[in-house]
Amino acid sequence: MLRRWRLCRECRVTSILLIVLGLFAGLIGALSGTGGGIIITPMLALYFGLPISQAIGTSLVAVITTSAASSSVNLQRHTTDIRLGMTLELATALGALATAYLVGYLNRTALEVLFATFLLYGAITILRKGGKTEDELDEIVPGPSSESVTLPQYAPKRYPLGMGASLVAGGLSGLLGIGGGPIKVPVMYLFMGVPLMVATATSNFMMGTTAAASAFVYFRRGDILPATAAPLAVGVFVGSLMGARLSPRVPHKWVAFLLVTLMLYLSAHMFVHIIGKFL
Amino acid sequence: MSEKREPRFDHRVALVLRFGAFAAFFVMLTGVAARVLFDGALPPRIELVGVLIMLITPVVRVFVVMTLFFRGKDWRYGWISTGVLLILLLGSIYGIGEH
How is chain B split into domains, by residue range? 7-93
Q: By C-alpha distance, which of A46, A70, A71 is closest to A59? A: A46
Which tens digit of pLDDT belongs to each residue from B9-25?
888 999 999 999 999 99
High-pLDDT (> 90) share of chain A, %: 18
ipTM, two decimals, is 0.89
Q: Spell out where chain A has E strands.
A: none
Check: CB of residue B81 under 8 Å from CB of residue A88. no
SS3 content of chain A, % helix, strand, coil (to 5): 80, 0, 20
Which of A220, A223, A225, A236 has the most B C-beta neighbours within 10 Å, making it the best mutation to test the interface with B? A220
Could B35 and A93 be called an inter-chain contact, meaning their C-beta atoms sit closer than 8 Å? no
Task: For residue B47, give how far its alpha carbon lies from the nearest alpha carbon of chain A (Å).
Answer: 6
Query: How far are the Cα atoms of A15, A17, A227, A241, A260 from residue B37, in angstroms, in the given order?
Result: 11, 15, 14, 26, 37
CB A215 within 8 A of CB A201: no
The whole-number average pLDDT for the span A152-170 is 88
Question: CA-to-CA distance for A242 and A237, rounded, in angstroms?
Answer: 9
CA distance A36 to A236: 8
Buried b (16+ CB within 10 A) or exposed e, A229-258: bbbbbbbbbbbbbebbeebeeeebeebbee
**B63 to chain A nearest CA, in Å?**
11
Q: Provide the residue count of chain A.
A: 279
Cβ-count burial A91-113 (b if 16+ within 10 Å, e if not): bbbbbbbbbbbebeeeeeeebbe
Check if B8 contacts A (Cβ < 8 Å): no
**Average pLDDT over every residue of B23-48:** 89
Q: pLDDT, tens digit, for every residue of A118-153?
A: 888 878 877 776 655 554 444 444 444 445 566 778
Q: Is the distance from CB of A231 to CB of A109 less than 8 angstroms?
A: no
pLDDT confidence tier of residue A26, bands split at 50, 70 and 90: confident
- Report chain A's mean pLDDT, rounded to a whole number: 81
Quote the CA–CA distance of B11 and A231 in Å, as a whole number: 29
Share of chain A above pLDDT 70, in %: 86
Higher per-residue pLDDT: B56 or A70: B56
Per-residue pLDDT for A12 more than 50?
yes
Nearest to A241 by CA among A11, A27, A5: A27
For the cut 70, the answer to whether the pLDDT of residue B36 exceeds it is: yes
- Phi/psi-derived region of residue A225, left when phi > 0, alpha when psi is between -120 and 50, beta in every other case: beta
> Residue A156 above 80 pLDDT?
yes
The 10s digit of each residue's pLDDT in A234-269 is: 999 998 888 777 766 777 777 778 888 888 888 888
pLDDT at A102 over 70: yes
The Cα–Cα gap between A160 and A203 comes to 17
pLDDT value for B25: 94
Q: For residue B71, give how far its alpha carbon lies from the nearest alpha carbon of chain A (Å).
A: 15
pLDDT band at A22 (very low <50, low <70, confident <90, very high): very high
Least confident of A31-35, A55-59, A82-86, B63-67: A31-35
Beta strands in B1-99 (DSSP E): none
Contact status, residue A187 vs residue A162, Cβ threshold 8 Å: yes
